[in-house]
Amino acid sequence: MKAIEVDSLTKVYSNGTKAVDDVSFSVEEGEVFGLLGPNGAGKTTAIKMITTLARPTAGLIRVFGIDTQRAPQEVRQMLGFVPQAISVDGDLTGYENLLIFAKLFFVDREERKKRILDALEYFGLADRANELVKNYSGGMMRRLEIAQALVNRPRILFLDEPSIGLDPYSKNQVIQQIQELNKEFGTTILVTTHDMTEADTLCNRLAIMNMGKIAISGAPADLKHSVGGDVLTVKLTGQAAASLPAGLGTVVSSEQGTIKILTDNGERAIPRLTEYLERNGAVVESVSLSRPTLDDVFMKYAKASLQQEGTFREARSARRSIARHAK
Amino acid sequence: MINLQRSVSSALTIAEIEARKIRHDSTELWMRAVQPALWLLVFGEVFNAIRSSSLSIPGYSYIQYIAPGVLAQSVLFVAIFYGITIVWERDVGLLTKLLSTPSPRISVVVGKTLAAGVRGIFQGVMVFALALIIGINLRFDPLDVAGVFITAVLLAMCFASLSMTLASFLKTRDRMMGIGQAITMPLFFASNAIYPVSLMPVWLQYVSKFNPLSYGVDAMRSMLLTGDYSTLPVDIFALLLFTLFFIACASVVLKRLIE
């Protein structure tokens, strides 16, 4: 069964901006699906429509087969949502934050307490459960927020930039916990992020949005492959081979003791290539491997609308939201 | 049936958020007692001294006369700023989160207005305490006191939902600050809180007919002061009508805040 089916989704705001323009995609159950793209690409608007927070101008969305416009409350009952800005309530304790959400999701009274304690335990917050959240660190708030989105045992979890504004350590922790969640409970996850390394580790499949449309989608490995294979740069002295045997790769450039070779799988090609070159009378001094990253994919499909200003504003607002809670 | 039960339970949960916050930090609640204290202790005492016969209902001192008005006004001041609260909650993402739960929109609105009601009850307690301390002679009949609290809750719900309706259109905290200032005083002065309607210019008397505050004050005054309940049903009915109307408005337009 498909977790999400989006069919020709369009959103035009009252000021005429077309935030999402005829977008179609689907997410399989149990999958981690990434929605990437520059600021203003329409990711957040798309998520808002899937989570029934905004009404589509046109198009159809089904979440586990249920039409979001026909039965929004039913859809919301199945989902967990972690918005971009940190939005746990600083004036309540960690326990209370989860309690309120358990109640709003109509979790049975008998089960409530157990689920809350489990979630707090799982995210390493049990010992600070009765402290006011405004005294938490940014990373703890983020974890509490994900815990909060889990008290209703959602079948699908929406994470809008879960690691924005976190230090590398907290970021890692959050990513690991998201992965565990997906593996242990089979929770379907839809995540948006600007961090390509994060997207690469987390996502089974992803789509890059640009200017309201999906520019490309697929598995990270395939996408990386589509922007070119691995490049080996070999420094050597002596006789360099002008051509290589089939299967090793092709020479792209060769000058003054440095040759560049394009190949499918760089790591596996290195020993065979070295052996071949040395057998042909060359002395290999060094080999370096560069592989295309999701950054390259992103740049190729999204650079048309990269807006510096937007990036700056977003970063500032994220910082502000953390500062506000930390007070 | 399940839907109604769920709506009520969601509304109570949202009010519970507020109650829990007050339990953690009640400073604001105490600060809110300053204003009614000033009105009673300074304004009330001074005007009491003037003892202009036309200013008071025969048989009552001026300070007795304005005590219910001051209570209603302090509830108005507390409730009218709920629009700012909701804009703030939108800004920090709390509102988006609330709306992403299966709770119906109307529960979110009713829950918030109930929270305002909780604060309204505290204002009532403060004003009663002040009245006892400075010796204002009011009818402290338990049923009347309960009635006054119910009226205070209704008033708070009415103005909180009005404020949230406005917030859905104005959308920023600065504008809500402005509008909060701009409408509280007119509502206050165009009511019977600190002088009888009969002393107003005729046009203002008509305005006061559409002012929920007047009905609230009138209801409280009949229970605290005169014991004459003849206008009470009309007062409560009008107040209920205003409240339901504004709650309906706020529930429909609230989602504008997050779009």
Domain range list for chain B:
2-258
Instruction: Report residue B61: phi and psi, to 5°.
Output: -80, 165
Is pLDDT at A190 greater than 90 in this prediction? yes
Of A208, A179, A218, A206, nearest in space to A34 by CA: A206
Q: Give the percent of chain A with pLDDT over 90.
A: 52
Q: Supply the pLDDT for residue A100.
A: 96
Residue range A160-189: mean pLDDT, rounded: 89
Residues A200-246 pLDDT 10s: 999 999 999 999 999 999 999 899 888 888 888 989 887 666 677 77
Q: Supply the pLDDT for residue A309.
A: 43
Tell me whether residues A100 and B96 touch, CB distance under 8 A.
no
Six-digit token pair at A158?
Answer: 């929406």
Residues A140-163 pLDDT 10s: 999 999 999 989 899 999 998 888
CA pseudo-torsion sign A213, A216, A217, A220: negative
Gap between the Cα atoms of B224 and B207, Å rounded: 25
Helical pair A138-150 and A168-185, crossing angle rounded to 10 deg: 10
Helical pair A94-104 and B2-24, crossing angle rounded to 10 deg: 170
Residues B191-204 pLDDT 10s: 999 888 888 999 99
Residues of chain A with CATH 3.40.50.300: 2-90+154-224
Gap between the Cα atoms of B79 and B239, Å rounded: 15
Of B218, B254, B258, nearest in space to B112 by CA: B254
Residue range B96-108: mean pLDDT, rounded: 92
Is pLDDT at A253 greater than 50 in this prediction? yes
Residue-averaged pLDDT of chain B: 91
DSSP state of A239: P
Beta-strand pair A156-160/A79-82: parallel
Gap between the Cα atoms of A71 and A63, Å rounded: 10
Is pLDDT at B142 greater than 90 in this prediction? yes
Tell me whether residues B100 and A77 touch, CB distance under 8 A.
no
Contacts of B169 (CB under 8 A, 6+ apart): B253, B256
Is pLDDT at A164 greater than 90 in this prediction? no
Q: What ipTM was reported for this prediction?
A: 0.88
B contact test, residue of A78, A105, A106 with most B CBs within 10 A: A106
Domain A229-290: CATH architecture, name and number where available: 2-Layer Sandwich (3.30)
Chain centre to alpha carbon of residue A249: 32
Model confidence at A7, pLDDT cuts 50, 70, 90, reads very high
Is pLDDT at A199 greater than 60 in this prediction? yes
Contacts of A173 (CB under 8 A, 6+ apart): A139, A143
Most confidently modeled of A66-75, A285-294, B25-34? A66-75
| Of residues B21, B94, B101, nearest to A104 (C-beta) | B101
Gap between the Cα atoms of B252 and B40, Å rounded: 39
Dihedral angle at the C-alpha atoms of B83, B84, B85, B91, nearest 10 degrees?
A: 110
Of A247, A30, A307, A325, nearest in space to A155 by CA: A30
Chain centre to alpha carbon of residue B196: 19
Instruction: Report residue B178: phi and psi, to 5°.
Output: -60, -50
Gap between the Cα atoms of A134 and A127, Å rounded: 15
Q: Which amino acid, A297? A: V
A contact test, residue of B16, B89, B97, B112 with most A CBs within 10 A: B97
Tell me whether residues A92 and B93 touch, CB distance under 8 A.
no
Gap between the Cα atoms of B46 and B50, Å rounded: 7
Domain A2-90+154-224: CATH architecture, name and number where available: 3-Layer(aba) Sandwich (3.40)
Is the distance from CB of A232 to CB of A249 less than 8 angstroms? Answer: yes
Nearest chain A residue to B15, by CA? A100
Is pLDDT at A250 greater than 50 in this prediction? yes
Gap between the Cα atoms of B85 and B14, Å rounded: 13
Is the distance from CB of B56 to CB of B62 less than 8 angstroms? Answer: yes
Is pLDDT at A327 greater than 50 in this prediction? no
- Contact of B198 with chain A, judged by CB distance below 8 Å, is answered with no
Q: Which amino acid, A230? A: D
Tell me whether residues B102 and A73 touch, CB distance under 8 A.
yes
